Amino acid sequence: MAHQATPSSQKALMMELKSLQEQPVEGFRITLVEESDLYNWEVAIFGPPNTLYEGGYFKNGDVCISILHPPVDDPQSGELPSERWNPTQNVRTILLSVISLLNEPNTFSPANVDASVMFRKWRDSKGKDKEYAEIIRKQVLSTAAEAERDGVKVPTTLAEYCVQTRVPSQDSSSDLLYDDLYDDDMEEEDEEEDESEMESVGEAGGISFLEEGGTSTRLYDNQDDSGNEDS
C-alpha cells in the first residue's frame, strides 16, 4: 500500500520506534528495513514458549485483525465499529493483537479458512488429530535457518521470552533523523518561551522598548537589588 510521507506521520512513527526500542514488546524483534525509511518496518515474531509455535521466528504472512479494519458499520463481518481501527491504536497495540492470535486465534473470522478448520479439529480432539500440530512444527523448524542468517537467538523458555532487550540501531542515523525532525519544533518552542520570559521580565522590571531609527533601545527603570523601587 502506498503511503504519503508527511512531517507529522514521520514524527509519530519515530516516537513509536524509539519507544519500542527502549521498552520492547516481548516476543518481537523490530527494525527498519532501511534506516532512512520510517514507513518500512521489519517485524519478526518469536513463537511463544509452551505453544506449538515455540522456537519459531516468523517474518512473513498475512493476519486478519479487527483493529486493522476501517471503522465502518459492516454487519456481515460480525465486528462492531468500536472493535476496528481508531486513533488510539498504534504499533504497540497492533503487535500485542498479533501475538494474542498465536495464543488464542479467532476461528470465527479467519484469514485462512483451511487452517481454521484444522485448528478446531486439533483443539476439539484435545490433540488427537495431529494434522494441525504437524504443519505448525514443520513451519517452526523451517524458520531456524532465517533466524541464523539474521544472527538472532530465538527464545525457547519463558525466562528468555520475557527478557526485554533494546535493539541497537545499526548506526546513529536514526537518532540523527529523530533530532532533525524535532530540532525545528524545539527551536520554535524555545523562541516562544524566551519571548514570554522577556515580556514577564519587562513587566516586572519596568523594561520598555523604544524604536529609534529601526533599532531597539532598552530603557530600565531604577530599582535596587531588593526589588523595591527607589523613592
User: pTM value?
Assistant: 0.62
pLDDT digit string (tens) for 194-210? Answer: 555 545 444 444 433 33
Query: Going by C-beta distance under 8 Å and a sequence separation of 6 or more, which residues neighbour residue 201?
Result: 207
Give the pLDDT of residue 191: 59
Active site residue 162: no
Q: Burial letters for 98-118: b for 16+ Cβ neighbours within 10 Å, e otherwise?
A: bbeebeebeeeebeeeeebeb
> Of 63, 64, 68, 158, which residue is the catalytic one?
64
pLDDT digit string (tens) for 118-151? Answer: 999 999 999 999 999 999 999 999 999 999 999 9
pLDDT digit string (tens) for 27-62? Answer: 888 889 998 899 999 899 999 898 899 999 998 877
Arithmetic mean of pLDDT over the chain:
75
